[in-house]
Structure 1
Amino acid sequence: MSQPDQVPQPDPDQQPTVTRTDADGVATLTLQRPALSHRLRTELLALVREVSADESVRAVLLTGTGRAFCVGQDLAEHVEELRAPGGRAEGALSVVEAEYNPLLLALAALPVPLVVGVNGACAGAGMGIALAADLRVAAAGAKFTTAFAGVGLSSDSALASRLVHCVGGSRAAALLLLPDPFPAETAEQWGLVHRVVPAEEVLAEATALAVRLAAGPTAAFRAIKRVLATAATDSLEETLALEASLQTGLGATADHREAVEAFLAKRAPVFTGR
């Protein structure tokens, strides 16, 4: 009796850890693995920089697969590197500065709106990445945790700073010092996520949100992101000066003229991103 043909299985080491798809002006980046290995961090940074430079992209959606969005550092890889002599052990101790910081800076520098679809567990640096988004949609029941203190570390990925801005210093301290998991519904109450939907609807809901943003006034969104980035630290004088400068530039855009004409004609505007 002949043996059935063996169907070759894809080598996971040869498959991308992050994929990109584009539609309707939205670049969707999907994490194919939940843990942030060196390879995933490298591939994600490259794609974030790629979409940032792509003028056809007017919104970015970042999401995961399966039961987790992102659980933070790949601890198995990290422990292996800590145990290794020489350069690899040293690299494990410098990974925040060498890899996490450039990734978070690249996410912050995206010139278009960033939506994160938290499809499942979100922990540690994964939570820092989620909070880098402009808007977050989370699956009902998805668990969040800061995680760092549980493995004897402080925070990275700007998590402490973003938590202070989102929930205030007292609650941020509690979340970091007592890294107990909390559900998406609580995250929504605290303002950490924009919307909570059933798990099977996260991708559709986040995609619809990103498509809506991609159809909007791109230059105005870019200016809004810039103002929001400094709103908590600039003085009143600095904020007013920045707003005046940005508003003057936006007044000359085609999108502003289109919006005004559409208002007078009692129709919906059609934005082109210019």
Structure 2
Amino acid sequence: MKGVVLAGGYAKRLWPLTLDTPKPLLPIGDGTIIDFIIAKLRQLDLEEIIISTNQRFERHFNEWLSKRGYANVRVVPEPSEKEEEKLGPTKALELLVRDSGADDYIITAGDNLFSLDLRSMVNFYNMVNSPVIALYEIARKEDARKYACVLVDENLIVRRFEEKPENPPCCLVSTGIYLLPWRCISRVSEYLKSGNPPDPIGRFICWLSETEKVYGLKFTGYWYDIGSLESYNEAKQAFKDLKYESYA
């Protein structure tokens, strides 16, 4: 199994903070957002962890990586240097897995901070042998307009996956954490060739759920999606005394 951190965006909503710094490298606790994500992924027995970014921020991630010295982490840039050129996460994922080869992949957005123990997600995945997405129940239904709403049945199989609905049917949302077997992730090319959008990656999950059993695993605790200055400041306050090396 391999891990992927999707970090190819330009985070315009956080400008000027992210004009010259990629969002995953913004400070949190005693490290950065991506330090906490990598700490989570390193709990798993992964062959490697791949950071998918863009050419503009490739240097920033490589400089960060040189200071950390992780042996099994590498940076892979997509061919874009500005917002208008970005491929979208699904297209970037297609290029990345084509290079990295057949395997199962655990994928997370690069602006995620979460209490979920990824080992429990892998254990569940091994039981169902099918795609698994991590879900979180937010407090207010109106806030679900910003996310992908997910309805699951009594067996935790996804029955509805709707990106940014005008009238959210529930408070259960996708957190941008996906565990996909090779038979599914290898279908990204099929999805894109059919004219489907490369952004957001949730569209691919929705498409996949039409022909595959996709399971939704709900977790409790906390989840921060760093999509605005407000959410970033909220996460900074919550994480101010945390050390990424002990984060689990």
Report which of the two has the higher share of helix: 1
**TM-score, normalization by structure 2:** 0.27
Report which of the two has the higher share of strand: 2
Q: Which one scores higher on RCO, CA 8 angstroms, separation ≥ 6?
A: 2
